[in-house]
Structure 1
């Protein structure tokens, strides 16, 4: 069975495919994929933008947590001047376009996700990522939604693992709502042994005009491989988000209460900078948030029961379903330029990490004490408590008992 490759098909893929898909040159027709660096300099102008920075040769057992980075404000032109020569990588990451660009700007007007079947999604829903070589996001999984990434300028490497992958050492410290981090350092690790035996991995290099679909729950480590890299992404809702929000609200209460009773400097190490206000959030507000998401979940469950009962009572029980598609035929058709993210063995992964070390690290350099500030090594017991309570089988049981009592 052949399937027409259009917006409806792609939308269907995003909702149903459970493996990462690469859309080669799929968005090369976007005008912003044709912009050269001078054009991007004009678009950014002289606005001061905050870049997260860290030494390229930082080696550690832990990932390079955001708390360890220094924030430096500079213009895009200043960033360009240092992108190839600086001893630091720089990242202006996870920034919503509408917070940095007006609706009448050229960039804002050009962003549309209609080609993926989401005409309702545009610049307001999109986040921007601008960085230099070596800039990266620690390995993590998003607890909400589906991710579509559009590569606009430069190349970016994605290493991905299925949701159920063992050996990644999941942790909620540092805490950030919707992110579960891996305690493994995929950038410049001090210990390679922890990567032995990791299975199910996939690795893909995205070039300008490429797009990537990251299904719900897939672990991913992302690193810029060119001197200048620019990308956009959009998160799409998933039907399981309603349930997940209850779990996240429960975890947030736990972390917030622990932070309230700890010294401020210690509490900061438990959370990412965007969660710094968590200790100041009144307990009543946290419980109101929990009550809200729990009621939404229960209301949805009741509606589904009513619909199911109604269908069983009606003579015509035909339920409209989404148009079927044949993924294999879509992948086999060369003109679609569609591919599964290629698999990577643990041996190849280890070689990739060693190449990273060879590229960025001067092993003769000694580290200053202030460079290790922001690590979570000294939070062993507190971290263990949070991770124990946040483990999926534990928090799912708590959620199940809570919802049963609220029903």
Structure 2
């Protein structure tokens, strides 16, 4: 497995961003996608969040290793938002918030972020998502089911993100009819999953104020180096191939997998694992043939 650092840029024009990163699907860190004068950088902090939404109930998510056969893991508990913020600031924890969107609960907060939209209006600014995690928490290696282009802006703490192109899905042991890998990408077992020896990707470490652009269909594994939170906005896929993948993922694959899992349970999961291994072995043979 080889990882290259993601390039950092600033003051790029829309034309150059679209030409050099959006169209060729190349990740990049934008240092000024969220304008430095955005009120959020001065206004937002944990005490402020407690004041405006501390009593809201939130679902707590932990390790996703135990839920490999599901598109999303189940919550492991519940607390108030204020209690959760106290938890992640007191000690390292794998606990994360998923699908708790403070920006939907308090929509006025959306006005606190000013975007330098380098996509010429493709960004869906009215639909941001917010993510919180404790130091050491991770999000398993996955592709987003809606195949959107994603812009993740870090506001508190540091995140380390590994990125891999869609074309390496087989080598990553993509679970068929799902959108994540069955491998532990952080501590790879090359004997158990030899395909991982052949993957090439990128590593991005994003600091507060920086934004990582993740192209449509790219795999990403996320680790919280410290506790923190980020905001992501999306741009819809533009090519017909990407749009077909969106329809297939949301309408066909997801529903088909739910039916088969309910009918066959563990047998269906075992079948998918065997299929992932077969596809990886074929991809390894192709890699070896290229090297001859």
Structure 1-normalised TM-score?
0.54
Is 1:139–1:181's contact at 8 Å kept on the other side of the alignment?
A: yes
Is residue 81 of structure 1 aligned with residue 86 of structure 2?
Answer: yes
SS of the aligned residue for 2:184 comes to coil
Contact 2:137/2:223, CA 8 A, preserved across alignment: yes
- SS of 1:148's equivalent? strand
1:23–1:13 distance in 2 versus 1, CA, 3 Å: same
Residue 383 of structure 1 is matched in structure 2 by 269
- Indicate the residue corresponding to 1:129 in structure 2: 131
Q: 8 Å contact 2:32–2:116 — kept in the other structure?
A: no
2:233 aligned counterpart, secondary structure: strand
Secondary structure class of the residue paired with 2:197: coil
Report what 1:169 is aligned to.
Answer: 173
Paired residue for 2:13, among 3, 6, 27? 6
8 Å Cα contact 2:21-2:28 kept in structure 1: no
Shift in Å, 1:114: 4.5
Whichever of the two has the greater Rg, that structure is 1
Aligned residues between the structures: 259
Q: How far apart in 2 are the matches of 1:85 and 1:198?
A: 39
Name structure 1 gaps, 5 residues minimum: 267-378, 394-407
CA distance in 2, matches of 1:109, 1:65: 32
Q: CA deviation at 1:8?
A: 4.9
State the 1:93 CA deviation.
2.5
Aligned Cα RMSD in Å? 3.6
Alpha-carbon distance in structure 2 between the residues aligned to 1:64 and 1:385: 14
* 1:231 partner SS: strand
Aligned partners of 1:158 and 1:220 also within 8 Å: yes
User: 1:70 aligned to 2:76?
Assistant: yes
Hey, what's the Cα distance between the residues in 2 that align with 1:225 and 1:146? 24
Aligned position for 1:23: 30
Corresponding position: 1:48 with 2:57: yes
Q: Which has the higher helix share?
A: 1
> Per-residue deviation at 1:202?
1.2
**Aligned-partner Cα distance in 2 for 1:8–1:43:** 39
Change (3 A) 1:123 1:217: closer
Q: Are residue 222 (structure 1) and residue 230 (structure 2) matched?
A: no
> Does residue 244 of structure 1 match 2:265?
no
Q: Distance in 2 between matches of 1:40 and 1:97?
A: 9
CA separation of 1:230 and 1:61: change in aligned 2, threshold 3 A: closer
Per-residue Cα deviation, 1:278-307 (whole angstroms, up to 9, x for no partner): xxxxxxxxxxxxxxxxxxxxxxxxxxxxxx
* 1:207 counterpart residue number: 207
Residue 12 of structure 1: how far off its partner (Å): 5.1
What is the CA distance between 1:198 and its match in structure 2?
Answer: 3.7
User: 1:209, CA displacement in angstroms?
Assistant: 0.7
For 1:139-178, what aligned pairs fall within 5 Å after superposition?
A: 139-143=141-145, 144-165=147-168, 166-172=170-176, 175=178
Q: For the structure 1 residues 97 and 82, does the alpha-carbon distance in structure 2 shift closer, same or farther, using more than 3 Å as the test?
A: closer
Q: 1:32 aligns with which of 27, 34, 40?
A: 40
| C-alpha distance after superposition, 1:290-333 (max 9, x if no partner) | xxxxxxxxxxxxxxxxxxxxxxxxxxxxxxxxxxxxxxxxxxxx
Which residue of structure 2 aligns with residue 372 of structure 1?
A: none
Measured at CA, do residues 204 and 260 of structure 1 come closer, stay the same or move farther in structure 2, by a change above 3 Å?
closer
Q: Distance in 1 between matches of 2:254 and 2:273?
A: 12
